Structure 1
Amino acid sequence: MGASLMEVKRRIVSTKKTGQITGAMQVVSTAKLSQIQRHTQSYQIYASKIRSVITHLAQSHLLDAKAGNAKQSSEDGSSKFSGFDMLQKRPVKKSGYLIITSDRGLVGSYNSNVIKQSLDLMKQNGCTVDNTVIIAVGGTGADFFKNRGYDVAYEHRGVSDIPTFIEVREIVRSMVTMYNSEVYDELFVCYNHFVNSLQSDFHSEQMLPISEVNLDTDSEGIEVPNAMGNEDYDMEPSGYAILEVVLPQFAESLVYGAILDAKTAEHASSSTAMKSATDNAKDIISSLELTYNRARQSAITTEITEITGATAALE
């Protein structure tokens, strides 16, 4: 009985320590969630403005890819890569998927949901290991697809808890370079969209080539109203020169917005998972303490009975 009591007591102490750790992790994740939500709100203003500019130019018929490339070639006589290359559509031989996961566990069903839903989307689009290229942001996704034989053409690990715009530029540059080099002919982004602290939904969006579908809806699939109207306006420099600069920024805004959204969902999922773990630890401790007290009471009762019996025998 003594050994059993000691074992229960050790489990109580161990579970309390685990609960303290998960409780601290919950506090940290909640703090990170609060910080990134404030950051995301300010960024959404920029993303909305650049989408508005691109949409306005599209409605002014300035997003004709052939016309844009012809204009660019006539101005500098070169065939170098330009922002207009992101508008070029071609027959799809290989599809690219930018999949955003976390680098670590302890985030509940966050990673498994993204991976499962991404695989379902690939299957729906007729993608296989042979005709699919993976761009992985996050170690969990990168390792998963590598282990299953997929071509992981690019991976980025160690995204900051509050991602910066500079981090995204390298990812966008690699994405566009691979698209221009025909590593893939279309690109989708897949990630968990933050709804609230208790819910996140899988979201996917075609990013390349840029089309009016990308422009007419925001990152949550909501139609973007045309607040600027359809009137003509003067531009300096030319509309093509403006698009040359704005199109890459638009691609950057899409990727950065997706990573911010995914990181927000990750922190929320981590906070929820750690809260659940802490609550479970409390329940286990309560059950173990009840078991310990019952065993201790039983041991004391047994000792009293033995003493009483011995006393009676002496008399």
Structure 2
Amino acid sequence: MMYIADENRYEKMLYNRVGKSGLKLSALSLGLWHNFGDVDLFENGRALVRRAFDLGITHFDLANNYGPPAGSAEENFAKILERDLKPYRDELIISTKAGYGMWAGPYGDGGSKKYLVASLDQSLKRMGLDYVDIYYHHRPDKETPLEETAEALDLLVRQGKALYVGVSNYSPEQTREIAEIFAAKKTPFIIHQPSYSMFNRWIEDGLKDVLVEKQLGAIAFSPLAQGLLTDRYLNGIPEDSRANRETGLWLHKENVNQTIGKVKALNHIAKERGQTLAEMAVAWILRDGIVTSVLIGASKVSQIEDNVKALDNIHFSEEELAAIDEVLKG
């Protein structure tokens, strides 16, 4: 049965301008870091993308190495585009990145012109696209001058392979420096993608100031601290949870045990606001207008629907913000 997007998809979603650019992003974006690889159920990923778009989420965020295996998330997204979203291409913001190890040898990693140009060509081929809307350098590369990385991204815009460029995981100093290089080239550098959550507030130590100074947008990943900022761990660690796996890279039992007191206190504040903890955690990131969009991940359609509910109340009183800060300092 042919997919037809919900005709009311734009009615409830918020769209925020990206820095000083003319582009707007949906306040929530869907990341394809997990659940879209060849090891995952394709029809589930397809359902996630379709439901996200039906709810007004227009931005779909990928990277060359998302999977596993690396590259498979882009390939699977291409199938979803072909089957469902091809008629809506001009309503979509599709982004990808390069910066982490992707292929063997000295040219498959980092920030060199050789790697960034080749990687985007590969990504476009995997996704069946002529261009991406945003192309990010995924992480700074200390072995490559920022001028070379900036030159590569500028070239790709001039070649028509990317409309805008961004960076991810850059420090405040690196962000300011590359912003100035891009400004001299008149490159449409518009956005930074940092990790950010109530439990990970590093961008408040300088980066937010740079974003305001340079009039850049931001899209925050890992807003729920890998699930800590949800109700999943309020009553202990579930058997099937990420934290229960000894090999867990991002989330461990220690994380849960050390933060559970704060999680319960934050959950109490969320209830008083009429929100779930996850909804409040997403809303909190958007509280001051500096972050343009929150990048969510999902394994179930219901998780996307729940996250969208956060937009019903993104305003905080001074008392609520003070109470949250008090919990987080404790």
Q: TM-score when scaled to structure 1?
A: 0.29
Greater RCO (Cα-Cα under 8 Å, separation 6 or more): 1
Structure of greater Rg = 1
Q: TM-score when scaled to structure 2?
A: 0.28
Query: Normalized per residue, which structure has more helix?
Result: 1
